[in-house]
A and B are shown apart, each in its own frame.
Chain A
Amino acid sequence: MNNNPLNLIRQALDKNQMTDLLLGAPEYCYLPKYSSSTSATDLAALLGVLYDNCPLEERQETSLKIERAFLDIVKTYEGIEPSSTVILLEALAQKNGNALGLPLEILASDLRNSIAHFRDRLANDKAAGGRNYPDGLLGDLRRLSKNVVDLGGPSFCS
């Protein structure tokens, strides 16, 4: 099911359902053509739209909503992968000059702890992004962390 991403973001913000959007709840699934996403939704594309189109006056509030949602999900296994995407997007936005102002170091620390907690499970998870790595999702998270570091952000997986 594909919907207009701007509408999805607006809906998630208005209804305070950013957590659902991050976790890819069915009503927030978005998979555009040409996406290389390995799962049912393309959070990177969605958040990319948000960063590109968030009005200046709404950025602070949006940032708070995303941060709250991040903290809701980061401690869950299902929330690890979308949490890494949030950090990736914010790091990219910092490089491009349109960041929302998320506290990247703090978020990365939380994600690091969560990854450490679920390390074995992640290493055995060959679904989605983990399919290409001998250590499963852990390998993909390591790649994403490196990409974040390349953008000037903090490492969250080594």
Chain B
Amino acid sequence: MGTLTLDSYFDPQVEFEEVGVAINGQRTWKLLGPDLDGHYGSLHGVGGLEATVQESDGLATPVFNDCFGNVLGAVYGGNVTWNSVRVSGYGPVLGYQASTLTPGTLLADTLVWRSRGIDPSGFYNLGARYYDPVAGHFLSPDPLGHEASMDLHSFCLGDPINRFDPTGRFGKEAFNGAQAGMADAGENGLSSFNGFGSSSNMKGIYAFEGDFEQGEKDVLFACLALVPGIGEAALASDGAVFAGEGVMLEGGLAEGADAEVAESLGGDAAVSETTLPAAETAAPKVEGEMAAETVDETPIAEIETETGAGAESTSAAVNEGQLTSGVVNESRAAADVGTTAASQGENASLQSGQVAQNAAGGGSGAGDAIPAGFAKELEGGGSWLMTEPQYLKFAKGQDFIGRADGQFMTSSRQLNQIIYDVGTDPVALGQKLNVEGWTANTRLIRMDVSDPLLFNARLPNASMSGANPMFISGGKTIGGVSEIVTDPLPASQVWATPLGR
């Protein structure tokens, strides 16, 4: 009888976020998109699994999730295989047994309940604690004590339908706006456990959308190449491709230095469907929804920088399954309703009509209207850079981020392109973005907002405080970067990523 060796690979910037497993050295990577609440890593992978990819042969296995993050089925060879294991909120229903990972088992088959693989011991490792799906409680007491759990061992306070504990640390403060937002959306209200306060450290997803090859199609690809140590990203003109040569997650996947995870997801039809977050209905996704013109998930980057002593931040990117044509912004709506801060915030001045108005070039606000092409680009996200001191001074712990007269930013796509072009060197980035004072020692934080058009986005004018002597009227820097300004942004809509470290 041989030895069975199981290894797990974790995102170094998202606690307990497993991004790959290896069985006897054979690695399989998880293609992770936004979790149920629409943000990468905020639910530690629950609902975020798009597909699995075997490193050895590049076999991609897209999966179907339901609104709880349970994997209902997977696509093998173009056919959907529905999982025979039934699950409840507590785990596999009695009489059913989730598959454990063995050399003959595909990873996707083992991730039945909440996108989590069951341990050979029969328990689930939920990060801080092991969970017994049969008894429906944790094996060890709640590390947060009685304040978090009356009996210390219960799971989700006895309500696994409306709540979830992805890490085994279910503090009262763990709930955030996504919970209410999901309830507002008509969801059953799967609660969101969004990190661990200031020490949370989440990882982003970056994707390009655009005509990259022959102008034939929108090709979406995860920009692994934009991150130091990742290497070149591969592109294909016929569909979504994700590829990474080199260390996939810097600092966290030492063994992955030679990993080449490249696989066309089968062109238009075989792209794994993104698990939609808050506004997704309770109905499981069906095969028909995978048509090419179905859904596009807005690229979302989510990361909370870790500023604790000794914390070593790294940069990384994770692929996001995307599709090719027919952009339908369902995810935008999902993100909107999933964020209570946006609806509660006095500065969130967003109405869908206004978005349309801005996108059509008739934006409101002090500045000029945004050209339709740029507005379209901004639907993929807005981004800006700030230094670490600025982040600590103006962003960390704030409910709203940005200047009252307008927060400067560019599109995520343009910033991705800039980083692709010049790397993460602060001096080069400063030159490109017309920011003085960034030197080789400057630590930069990338700020991303999933949809800046929701926040009174408009072109900047020369009277704005960020319009320095290098400002060019019309919203472009001398480096050719288009810019907008927005109203202050709810912190729940902004994600920070340490750049280049």
Contact = CB atoms under 8 A, between A and B. Distances in A.
Contacts of A95: 307, 309-310
B404 A34 contact: no
A143 B403 contact: no
B145 to A, nearest CB: 21
Contacts of B439: 49, 52-53
Q: Which of A32, A42, A150 has the most CB of B within 10 A?
A: A32
Interface residues of A, number: 42
A46 to B, nearest CB: 8
Nearest to B387: A48
Contacts of A13: none
B407 interface: yes
B466 A32 contact: yes
Nearest to B443: A96
Summarize A's interface: helix, strand, loop or mixed. Answer: helix
- Interface magnitude class on chain B: 35 or more
A4 B436 contact: yes
Interface in B46-89: none
A85 B309 CA distance: 18
A34 B438 CA distance: 12
A48 B404 contact: no
B435 A34 contact: yes
A45 B387 contact: yes
A73 to B, nearest CB: 17
Contact of A45 (B390, B396, B409): B390
B400 interface: yes
Contacts of A132: 398-400
Interface of A: 2, 4-6, 30-38, 40, 42-49, 51-53, 85, 88-89, 92, 95-96, 98, 129, 131-132, 143-144, 146-147, 150-152
21 contacts: A2-B469, A31-B465, A33-B433, A34-B384, A34-B407, A37-B390, A38-B404, A40-B465, A44-B389, A45-B390, A48-B442, A51-B389, A53-B441, A131-B404, A132-B398, A143-B396, A143-B397, A144-B392, A146-B198, A147-B392, A151-B392
- State the 8 A-B residue pairs at the shortest beta-carbon distance, nearest first: A44-B393, A48-B389, A5-B437, A36-B394, A52-B441, A2-B468, A44-B389, A143-B397
